[in-house]
Structure 1
Amino acid sequence: MQGNKLFWNATENERNTFIAQSLSMAGFLNKDQSLWGKSRGGITSGEVDIFIKQKNGDPFSIVEALNLESLDKTYLNLHLEKIFYYDTTGLKYNFILVYSTSKNFSDFWGRYLNYISNFDYPFDISSCEELDEFDYTDIRICRTLHTRNGKETYLYHIMVDLNK
């Protein structure tokens, strides 16, 4: 995505479609913009950005994505809350995917990490750990560990620098 100029100024949905297609080509079953779980208001089904299934059709993971230029806490809160509303079964692994257009990616990542480590999640957070085993300077990953009904679940936060 970062190497293709078409996605530098793309909408969230265009970027999500690219990610969903890339996952499909890698052998993952997924649905783009599928209805699952419950909406934030709890009245209707939620509209999941990308819903990943196992080969047998069982749910595996939810990807909730958003475009951010800065730490827009209201917009970020909405997405952090939505992923937990969508996940009505307690999936082990879920993902928040931030398409960053911040002018200072490293500074933005630091502010993002500080914010998500102190966020009031619907399920208790046990840890917030930045993952350094990836050799990309313009992609950052963090994993938050949550306790949900006595079991551990992970929320991976992936930030991609698209300010080109």
Structure 2
Amino acid sequence: MNVGDYLLTLDLFDYTSLTDLERSITKYVNKNVESIIRVLLDYLEDDNGFTPECFLPYNNLKINNDTWNEMVYDLYDIVRSDVIREYVKPKYEFLLYVILQWWADCTDDSEDLLTNKLDSNLVTKIKSTYTSEDGENYVLKAITNFKEYYYIFFTDQDFLPGSLERMLIIFLKNQDLFKELFPDTDLQEYWDLMPKDLQEQFEELNYEQYESIKKDLFEYTLLQNLFLCSERLQANHMYKESLEDEMNDFIRDLLTCSGYNLRDQTRQGTSNGGKQAGEVDILVRKENIPYSIIEALRLSSIDKAYISEHIDKIYKYDTLGNRCNFIISYVKTSNFLKFWKNYLLFIESYNYPFEQDEFTVPLDHQYPELKWAVTNLKRNDIITKLYHIVIHIPS
């Protein structure tokens, strides 16, 4: 969806379980903001010299007037929509805040600040639903008092210059403290609003960090692409009765189309018997050097010998010590959750060829029909990873 497909939420309700009354209240408040922004657009559209600089407190940001104009139209589309949006980028929050300030400054009569009056039936429902024992009705007060709009539209006001500067200073000095104080804040979202000098420092620090973690990006991207390949395979009913090699071909073709340098059924290393060259399912290369082995197998139950054969096969072939390897299980079973639990018990206690440093089942990208876990192995004091991806193949 684009930015015009949403309706602004209010810091009054839980939008994961919205009632019809709460939706009506949300529409009413957005309707008031719509009227305010429409007046502002009329000023901007008239050829009278009125520009964003006339309503911005001080345009020290590197956003030109044309961009500000476009953002006002975007914000106007947001509040006119019937679809509720739970998140708005900080630059739009800042824009809404200064528009509310502008409206308060140019409106002489406080009675005119809210141009839309509440329907009497809606008032009755609000009173019967939200009035407390002492007669207070915080919802009715909030939506009929213009000053409350500064609070019900924003869970915080970190987008304001003073607050943002303080956050940036903390981040630049002590990132651990920043994560502790602002665990859910992504400063990259505030880039357009940053003062120029702090913006430069932020970019320099991010660049240094990017260079230090760039080696992890290939691994992360490969993992995400294997999730995508797994999802496509799982959703394609043509493969529900396919052979293991046919499924491997499907995964390989998708990875190849994504630009990976692959070799499949590559003769490398020693076989399980240690006597002759064997075959791996897929070998991923990075800069012409082996980076990761992907082994896959079909299962209908916890076949310990077959799983062990594939795990051991990876490390027979991985003579260099790849940064990460993958074992993908195509599972056809009537009780996938039971299979997954038993699989976890087996691979966590498995006797790997190298010391197990850590075993985790991350919360990210766990789906009812696709699960994953990762085993960290210490190999000559260097941590390498074995990712386990388990796909439920429908019957």
Pairwise TM-score range, normalised by the shorter structure: over 0.9
- State whether residues 129 and 142 of structure 1, in contact with CA within 8 Å, keep that contact through their aligned partners in structure 2: yes
The corresponding residue for 2:315 is 84
**Equivalence map 1:9-158=2 (5 Å):** 9-54=241-286, 56-134=287-365, 136-158=367-389
1:161 equivalent in alignment to 2:392: yes
Q: Which amino acid aligns with 1:150?
A: D
CA distance in 1, matches of 2:380, 2:274: 20
Listed one character per residue, the Cα deviations across residues 50-94 of structure 1 (whole Å, up to 9, x for unaligned) are 11111x211110001100000011111111111110101100100
CA distance in 2, matches of 1:152, 1:130: 17
SS of alignment partner, residue 114 of structure 1: helix
Segments of 4+ moved more than 6 angstroms: none
* Unaligned segments of structure 2, at least 5 residues: 1-232
* Larger mean Cα displacement after TM superposition, 56-65 or 131-140: 131-140
Q: Which amino acid aligns with 1:11?
A: L
Q: Which amino acid aligns with 2:240?
A: W
Structure with bigger gyration radius:
2
Listed one character per residue, the Cα deviations across residues 93-131 of structure 1 (whole Å, up to 9, x for unaligned) are 000000000211111001000100001111111111112
Q: Which amino acid aligns with 1:44?
A: Q
1:135, distance to aligned residue in structure 2 (A): 5.2
1:163, distance to aligned residue in structure 2 (A): 2.8
Listed one character per residue, the Cα deviations across residues 17-75 of structure 1 (whole Å, up to 9, x for unaligned) are 00000101111111111111211111112200011111x21111000110000001111
- State whether residues 234 and 394 of structure 2, in contact with CA within 8 Å, keep that contact through their aligned partners in structure 1: no
Which of the two has greater helix per residue?
2
- State whether residues 297 and 330 of structure 2, in contact with CA within 8 Å, keep that contact through their aligned partners in structure 1: yes
CA root-mean-square deviation: 1.0
CA distance in 2, matches of 1:131, 1:6: 30
- State whether residues 28 and 52 of structure 1, in contact with CA within 8 Å, keep that contact through their aligned partners in structure 2: yes
1:2 equivalent in alignment to 2:234: yes
Q: Which amino acid aligns with 1:130?
A: V
CA distance in 2, matches of 1:136, 1:26: 23
Q: Which amino acid aligns with 1:37?
A: G
SS of alignment partner, residue 131 of structure 1: coil
The corresponding residue for 2:140 is none
CA distance in 1, matches of 2:311, 2:362: 19
Which of the two has greater strand per residue?
1
CA distance in 1, matches of 2:386, 2:279: 18
The corresponding residue for 2:59 is none
Q: Greater relative contact order (Cα 8 A, min sep 6): structure 1 or 2?
A: 1
CA distance in 2, matches of 1:75, 1:91: 22
* Unaligned segments of structure 1, at least 5 residues: none
SS of alignment partner, residue 234 of structure 2: coil
- State whether residues 132 and 141 of structure 1, in contact with CA within 8 Å, keep that contact through their aligned partners in structure 2: no
- State whether residues 144 and 154 of structure 1, in contact with CA within 8 Å, keep that contact through their aligned partners in structure 2: yes
- State whether residues 143 and 157 of structure 1, in contact with CA within 8 Å, keep that contact through their aligned partners in structure 2: yes
* Larger mean Cα displacement after TM superposition, 35-44 or 60-69: 35-44
- State whether residues 12 and 67 of structure 1, in contact with CA within 8 Å, keep that contact through their aligned partners in structure 2: yes
CA distance in 1, matches of 2:291, 2:324: 7
Taking only the aligned residue pairs, the percentage that are identical comes to 37
CA distance in 1, matches of 2:263, 2:254: 12
**If the length of structure 1 is used for normalisation, what is the TM-score?**
0.96
CA distance in 1, matches of 2:378, 2:334: 35
